[in-house]
Amino acid sequence: MTVAVNLSLKQFRQPKLVETVPGILDVKDLDPQFLELEITETTTIQNIEFTTAVLKNLEAMGVLISIDDFGTGHSSLHRLQVLPLHNIKIDKSFVSELTTDHKVAYIIKAIVDLGRSLGLRLIAEGVENPE
């Protein structure tokens, strides 16, 4: 089972984040492949070079990386291209309107098609009924 942890902008910008993660994994006796760190799109826009370096170091450890609340921040296809991502989490604000707004359905389909084409796992947040 994977443990997903949301990182705030402040937490992500900690100078020793990359050095801290292995210690936490050791203390919790958790294999890196079972840790998923989630950041928002807003976190990625602050400093793309810094963000890319941190995420590449975390990925090299075997940690999974997710973009959380996708579609609600400053979406950039360029970030999907350059960042070492494993998952896209589609924001629940889209999912809740999936069956009532045809535009939302098209947006979600486009995100799903894009994510699959890039080999990313997609997660829909806030699914509450079969539709």
Tokens of 125: 């947040």
- Any domain includes 131: no
Which pLDDT does position 94 carry in this prediction?
87
Supply the CATH number for residue 108's domain. Answer: 3.20.20.450
90 touches 122 (CB < 8 A): yes
Which pLDDT does position 16 carry in this prediction?
94
The structure's pTM equals 0.88
* DSSP H stretches of helix in 1-131: 9-12, 17-27, 41-45, 48-61, 77-82, 92-95, 102-117
Which pLDDT does position 37 carry in this prediction?
97
Which of 51, 116, 112, 47 is CA-nearest to residue 84? 51
**How many domains does one find in the chain?**
1
Asked whether the predicted pLDDT for residue 38 surpasses 90, the reply is yes
- Any domain includes 47: yes
- Any domain includes 130: no
Cβ contacts of residue 47 below 8 Å, gap of 6+? none
Instruction: State mean pLDDT over 17-24.
Output: 95
- Any domain includes 107: yes
- Any domain includes 109: yes
For 63-116, write each residue's pLDDT tens digit: 999 999 887 877 678 888 889 999 999 989 888 888 899 999 999 999 999 999
Q: Which domain holds residue 7?
A: 3-124
- Any domain includes 129: no
